[in-house]
A = this chain, B = another copy of it.
Amino acid sequence: MIVVIQCADRVGLVASISGLLASENLNIVSMNEHVDKGENLFFMRLEIDKLSDSKALEQKLRALLPDGALVNVNPKPEKKVIVMVTKEYHCLADILVRNHFKTLGASVQCVIGNYVTLEDICKRFDVPFYHVKYEPSEEPEQQVLDIVSRYEYDYIVLAKFMRVLSPAFVSRFPGRIINIHHSFLPAFAGANPYRQAYERGVKLIGATAHFVTDELDEGPIISQQIIPAGHSFTAGDMMKAGQEIETAVLAKALRLVFDDRVFIYKNKTVVLE
């Protein structure tokens, strides 16, 4: 059983929490915590070796903790997700494979694409695919909202979805949309990052998984990684090499989020591994 806590910091929090668990005869298997001293914020993730009455324990924890504490006892072990894509297959295929073999830590409810390119791979894995044409006259975001409204879901994953979502859309899903951006943010935000990286002559290229907020490519970063890219790389070579780490970085970010290890505050994340 997992317990996650995010609240104002104060002296004795660990003692209160671990004391309560001991009095409930709950054994802590692992405990990770972080304090942001500048912001006076406390974050904790606990693994407990048996199940307990979640609601009751949540109430007892809230009674112990500062006002406004976020407490989640025994969050859903398997999240539900909707994936949005354009034409590139690499991130989606990786997600579909893990989903199929039950190692994603989430179940994919459906895939929405602004092209039909990736419909076939979804069908091969028995995952519903919806095509939404991204033309203004089609009111595509309304169509997306209509589709997602038919499903239960915890997160929307943008697996190389190459359209910018409107602030109105994003604001409906705070902390619930995860994007993979094909650069080492904040370098090369916006369009054509590999072209930008090529023009600048960088020696490493990167990928960044982050939560989506109103500001394009400015949301809280979950995970980043880089690979070498020398002078012999064309912008196309950078794209190909980059796709390998995009896949890896998104997979890692999803694992962390689905495993209840990622906390959001300000424009940052705490990742308790």
Residues of A within 8 A of B (CB): 11-12, 14-16, 18-19, 21-22, 25, 27-31, 33-37, 89, 93-94, 97, 100-101, 121, 124-125, 184-188, 200-204, 206, 220-226, 230-232, 244, 248, 251, 266-271
A271 touches B231 (CB 8 A): yes
- Give every chain B residue within 8 A of A30 (Cβ-Cβ): 35, 232
- Give every chain B residue within 8 A of A269 (Cβ-Cβ): 201, 231
Binding site secondary structure of chain A: mixed
Complex copy number for this chain? 4
**Cα distance A137–B224 in the bound complex, in angstroms:** 46
B34 touches A232 (CB 8 A): yes
* Minimal beta-carbon separation of A157 from chain B (angstroms): 17
Tell me whether A220 and B204 are in contact in the complex, defined as CB-CB below 8 angstroms, given that A31-B14, A93-B97, A268-B231 are known contacts.
no
* Minimal beta-carbon separation of A34 from chain B (angstroms): 6
- Give every chain B residue within 8 A of A36 (Cβ-Cβ): 231
* Minimal beta-carbon separation of A97 from chain B (angstroms): 4
B18 touches A22 (CB 8 A): no
- Give every chain B residue within 8 A of A94 (Cβ-Cβ): 97
- Give every chain B residue within 8 A of A29 (Cβ-Cβ): 35, 37
Please name the residue on chain B nearest to A19 by beta carbon.
B15
B224 touches A202 (CB 8 A): yes
Tell me whether A27 and B14 are in contact in the complex, defined as CB-CB below 8 angstroms, given that A121-B100, A204-B225, A225-B204 are known contacts.
no
